[in-house]
Structure 1
Amino acid sequence: MNNIVSTQVLIIGGGATGSGLARDLALRGVRCILVEKRDINAGASGGNHGLLHSGARYIASDPAAARECRDEGELIKRLAPQCVEDTGGLFVAVKGDDERYIADFADRCRRCDIDAIPVDPKEALEMEPSLSADTIAAFAVKDASIDPFKLSLDNLAQAGALGTRQLLHHEVVGFDRRGGRIETVRLRDQRRGVEVRVQAEQIVNASGAWAGSVAALAGARINMVYSQGSLIISQMRLGERVINRLRKAADADILVPAGTVSIFGTTSKRIDAPDDCRPTTAEIDAMIDDGMALIPSLAETRYIRAYAGVRPLVRAGGGSDDRAVSRGYSLLDHDADGLSNFTTITGGKLTTYRLMAEKTADLVCRRLGNTSPCRTAVDALPASSEAQYTEPGLTPKMWFKKKDASDLLLCECEMVPTSVFNEIVASLSTNGHRPGLREMGQRSRVGKGPCQGSFCSLRMAAHMYNEGMLSGSEGIGELKDFLNERWRGMQPLLWGPAVSQAELQEALHCGLLGLDVSETA
């Protein structure tokens, strides 16, 4: 017999917007279930550069989005400081950049009420020595760095404390529609292979780049555009501030500090479907070649990982330039599709996730007859224990402070000990989730260091066997899944030291353990 559960609101999508919506509705007293076909931030919310926008990037292409980023960025800094490193930012032009754009920059910022303070090029070079000696203009702005995983996990933690239920690794496979309403949503539990049915008064499609395919299952249509953005992570931190190229938005013009590393990107490449998203060597090569004009040291930097996300853009007209499509959000009530209890929220930016959740919750609550006001613009987002271990440098401090010789390190690169691993496992199990290696990586720093899981993957799997979390051949599947994901990020960077690292990983996991051999061979 099929499992049937009921709720007031079903939220489809476990990215920042879906997580923020779960918290917003929970604070208004609405019962929710959040469903995600993979894990938290598996889409664009986990495939971005972690930039908390001042709005200055969009002053020319999308002033409305620029103002939204300005306001929401300041709110997040104030209400969720645990998720933010308030680095500040620089917009920097080098010889050959468009002098008209440079001359108009401050005025365009002023029209959007965005602070942009001129900085002498010599002073800019003292502030950020990695900048090119060909710097000709610079402006200081209020950009910052944000941890998207901590952000989503903190939102879900408070939502969960208020009664929201999460169903991870559950994919929407169909809707049972009668007249102008969806009566039941059919889910497939990908871990157990069973079907779960959810009866909800309102359904919200917050599935990002997959919003079009989810809507199609309900008989609705969204004109989605899939724009892939690829990024690379350096082994060392290359700057103290966010560094933007002072030009109209293009590829290879943002460097964002992220703890002990830096993230450089991004690109805009049209793809046919969000599941096709994958960084390529050609993209990375072109990005580094272009970026060297701004940051010359990019040519000699060691990179430990490449990754990509899909921008969920909604096109209103024609044209082929994806950067010209609005970075504003799209909130669709689907009345035109004959549906009175189905809503889609997509597009937008990570910086505007809270605003997107608020506007969506307002619409849903009107339909439910709930008059409670939004509280996320005034209430601080509580820091949660579930999210604390995504912070770079936290676990080494804790480990050295404890001085417990029995608390063995599982990940030496990021110094994640057994005690932290066990705490995350306990949190996952309490929330009804089955712990796995990839789930651990989403909620901690394991696998994110220079070895990209070469050694910690084996230690974690062995520990899980010792603790009875794995049995039989389950660990082989876990290792393959975890290492394949890390390999996706290493493959486009195979030059210099990265080649040696890849050969070591291949020798260890394929030559010694035979993980490349079929289990049925």
Structure 2
Amino acid sequence: MKSFQTRVLILGGGATGTGLARDLALRGVSCLLAERRDINAGASGGNHGLLHSGARYVASDMEAAVECREEGAILKAVAPQCIEDTGGLFVAVEGDDEQYVADFEGMCKKSLIPARQLDLGEARELEPLLSEKLISAYAVEDGAVDPFMLSLDNMAHAMTHGAQSIRNAKVVGFSMGDGRIQRALFLDETSGESFEVEADLIVNATGAWAGLIAALAGAEIHILYSSGSLLVTQDRLTKRVINRLRKASDSDILVPGGTVSVLGTTSVTIDSPDDCRPTVAETDQIIEDAQAMIPVLATTRYIRAYAGVRPLVLSGESGDARSVSRGFSLIDHARDNVDNFITITGGKLTTYRLMAEKTADMVCRKLGVKAPCLTRTESLPASTMGRWTEPGLAPKSWVRNRDEDDLILCECEMVSRNSIDSIIENMPGMRGNSMLKAIGMRSRVGKGPCQGGFCGLRITGHLYDQGHVSEAQGLMELKTFVGRRWRGFSPVLWGLPMVQADLQEALYCGALDMELDHNTDDFTCEDDE
């Protein structure tokens, strides 16, 4: 069995895990990050990309509101390539709680969150799609963040300072002894091979899966799993983030991101983080509720739905997910008689850096390391690993640097063959056996209106041509890739998307002998039966 050694083993490759890898690497602490699937495979890749001003939490969670305000300002300064400083509006419409509206500005002042009341005419001039039934509007300092670029840039910077990473690595157990974890046991689910990692200290940064991983070491964390679904529009509808001016509820945020907008979210308690997926009922609910503040949402074309799980740590009796703190939990499992085991979970994407800093502080105290945190002031360099996630970059690059022999493989997002080769070249340390999924996560491939219907085939063919896949591997990866895209496609099937879906189903089922299971919305191949 293969064996690796490191000083700190980080479990989980989301924003917090990659941020922690960077923080520790900058302090000179060697670390290895192990991720079951790929970077941002969990909640860090299933959120609305909102860089919170903190105003959303001024009534329910002042501590989280202040953390968001402070961390949002830091991220705008140190990671500008990952941030679009859009600004935001909080708007109320007829029928909304007027007492909450009246208290909003005062609550923002208590948390030192800037909020400027706007004349209703000025608000509609700034965002013409706002409802004519507006009764109040405030300008806040919200923004949009590219979570994939953020995590990839963090991991890339960590790796330049000696950090290592493994993906497709599932934790299957811990070897315990003398009140410590002696070894972490892993299974590479793509190859079937087992391996182990010896570390002085293990950090559990697996988000919604933190309780399940902690249980493998005999520790206990009570987590409420709150699933939130979101919709992606074909076009960008607003310049700014639009928030409903009411207590946190469903369907009250529209976040512009590059060339699209993301609408959501819901809050549905589920039994397992693996049960998270969007539904038709949630899609209908989101659109029906949100059109009160932006009426055009009723007739907008949606190209995808997706969902993420909020890991809400319960400190007392469980209740409604909306009432549980959005703060984070940092747990030293010495309390559970496991001296070298730490869990960090909860929180927000906006506060990932703070979560990583506090976790690194605890790690360093336990290891006797005196080096200070540098991520609060040191800029996060843009990396080649994360550059292709930016909407609109691929077509600009193709036009400016066009090679006459280059070909467009993804027409919706204008991703060329040379871009695909660049992505592969710049992820050697992140390679696993799921090449197509890795390319999709690190680029705009599959994120356009066809949702991978055509580019999936073309890129798979290119991977075969270049020898990156062989025999049945490419076809199996294509099946998984298209199946995952179909899960997001199926809840928004009406009008033109329905026609697109019929074409995609005919292409894959007719040409490649795949079968679409309408009960699970997954593709299977004939030889899977």
Settle same-fold status: TM greater than 0.5. Answer: yes
Aligned counterparts of 1:303 and 1:405: Cα–Cα separation in 2: 34
Per the alignment, in what secondary structure is the counterpart of residue 372 of structure 1? coil
Q: Are 2:166 and 2:430, in contact at CA under 8 Å, matched by a contact in 1?
A: no
Sequence identity percentage: 58
- Look up the match of 2:518: none
- Look up the match of 2:30: 31
Aligned counterparts of 2:258 and 2:176: Cα–Cα separation in 1: 47
Q: Are 2:344 and 2:355, in contact at CA under 8 Å, matched by a contact in 1?
A: yes
Aligned counterparts of 2:367 and 2:231: Cα–Cα separation in 1: 44
Aligned counterparts of 1:28 and 1:241: Cα–Cα separation in 2: 37
For residues 443-474 of structure 1, what are the alpha-carbon distances to aligned partners after superposition, in whole Å with 9 as ceiling and x for unaligned?
00010000101100010011111111122222
Q: Could you list the structure 1 runs, at least 4 aligned residues long, displaced by more than 4 angstroms after superposition.
A: none
For residues 360-380 of structure 1, what are the alpha-carbon distances to aligned partners after superposition, in whole Å with 9 as ceiling and x for unaligned?
000000000000000000100
Per the alignment, in what secondary structure is the counterpart of residue 306 of structure 2? strand
Q: CA shift at 1:429, angstroms?
A: 2.8
Per the alignment, in what secondary structure is the counterpart of residue 425 of structure 2? helix
Q: Are 2:91 and 2:244, in contact at CA under 8 Å, matched by a contact in 1?
A: yes
For residues 346-402 of structure 1, what are the alpha-carbon distances to aligned partners after superposition, in whole Å with 9 as ceiling and x for unaligned?
000000000000000000000000000000001000110110000011111111112
Aligned counterparts of 1:133 and 1:160: Cα–Cα separation in 2: 51
Q: Are 1:228 and 1:309, in contact at CA under 8 Å, matched by a contact in 2?
A: yes
- Look up the match of 1:493: 492
Q: CA shift at 1:8, angstroms?
A: 0.3
- Look up the match of 2:386: 387
- Look up the match of 1:15: 14
Aligned counterparts of 1:362 and 1:272: Cα–Cα separation in 2: 33
Mapping of residues 240-259 of structure 1, within 5 Å: 240-259=239-258
For residues 410-457 of structure 1, what are the alpha-carbon distances to aligned partners after superposition, in whole Å with 9 as ceiling and x for unaligned?
100000001110011112235453461111010000100001011000
Alignment counterpart, residue 519 of structure 1, candidates 508, 511, 527: 527
- Look up the match of 2:198: 199
Q: TM-score, normalised by structure 2?
A: 0.97
Q: Are 1:228 and 1:269, in contact at CA under 8 Å, matched by a contact in 2?
A: yes
Q: What is the RMSD of the two structures over their aligned residues, measured on CA atoms?
A: 0.9
- Look up the match of 1:114: 113
For residues 82-106 of structure 1, what are the alpha-carbon distances to aligned partners after superposition, in whole Å with 9 as ceiling and x for unaligned?
0000000000000010000000000
Per the alignment, in what secondary structure is the counterpart of residue 495 of structure 1? coil
Q: Are 2:48 and 2:264, in contact at CA under 8 Å, matched by a contact in 1?
A: yes
- Look up the match of 1:340: 339
Mapping of residues 418-433 of structure 1, within 5 Å: 418-433=417-432
Aligned counterparts of 1:337 and 1:318: Cα–Cα separation in 2: 21
Distance 1:474 1:432, change over 3 A: closer
Q: Are 1:428 and 1:434, in contact at CA under 8 Å, matched by a contact in 2?
A: no
Q: Are positions 1:369 and 2:371 aligned together?
A: no
Q: Are positions 1:43 and 2:42 aligned together?
A: yes
Aligned counterparts of 1:496 and 1:419: Cα–Cα separation in 2: 35
Per the alignment, in what secondary structure is the counterpart of residue 386 of structure 1? coil
Q: Are 2:306 and 2:488, in contact at CA under 8 Å, matched by a contact in 1?
A: yes
Aligned counterparts of 1:12 and 1:471: Cα–Cα separation in 2: 30
Aligned counterparts of 2:90 and 2:356: Cα–Cα separation in 1: 30
Per the alignment, in what secondary structure is the counterpart of residue 240 of structure 1? coil
Worse-superposed segment, 420-429 or 361-370? 420-429
Q: Are 1:176 and 1:182, in contact at CA under 8 Å, matched by a contact in 2?
A: yes
Mapping of residues 65-76 of structure 1, within 5 Å: 65-76=64-75
Aligned counterparts of 2:85 and 2:73: Cα–Cα separation in 1: 10
Q: Are 2:165 and 2:429, in contact at CA under 8 Å, matched by a contact in 1?
A: no
Q: Are 1:8 and 1:200, in contact at CA under 8 Å, matched by a contact in 2?
A: yes
Give, as a single letter, the amino acid of the residue that structure 2 aligns with 1:220. Answer: A
Aligned counterparts of 2:144 and 2:297: Cα–Cα separation in 1: 20
Q: Are 1:252 and 1:266, in contact at CA under 8 Å, matched by a contact in 2?
A: yes
Where does structure 2 lack aligned partners over 5 or more consecutive residues?
516-524
Q: CA shift at 1:130, angstroms?
A: 1.0
- Look up the match of 1:267: 266
Per the alignment, in what secondary structure is the counterpart of residue 519 of structure 1? helix
Distance 1:250 1:435, change over 3 A: same
Q: Are 1:26 and 1:163, in contact at CA under 8 Å, matched by a contact in 2?
A: yes
Aligned counterparts of 1:499 and 1:489: Cα–Cα separation in 2: 13
Give, as a single letter, the amino acid of the residue that structure 2 aligns with 1:275. Answer: D
Give, as a single letter, the amino acid of the residue that structure 2 aligns with 1:240. Answer: K
Q: Are 2:251 and 2:266, in contact at CA under 8 Å, matched by a contact in 1?
A: yes
- Look up the match of 1:301: 300
Q: CA shift at 1:319, angstroms?
A: 4.1
Distance 1:512 1:125, change over 3 A: same
Per the alignment, in what secondary structure is the counterpart of residue 374 of structure 1? coil
Give, as a single letter, the amino acid of the residue that structure 2 aligns with 1:326. Answer: S
For residues 214-260 of structure 1, what are the alpha-carbon distances to aligned partners after superposition, in whole Å with 9 as ceiling and x for unaligned?
00001000000000000000000010000000000000000000000
Aligned counterparts of 2:326 and 2:437: Cα–Cα separation in 1: 30
- Look up the match of 1:84: 83
Q: CA shift at 1:314, angstroms?
A: 0.2
Q: Are 1:476 and 1:515, in contact at CA under 8 Å, matched by a contact in 2?
A: no
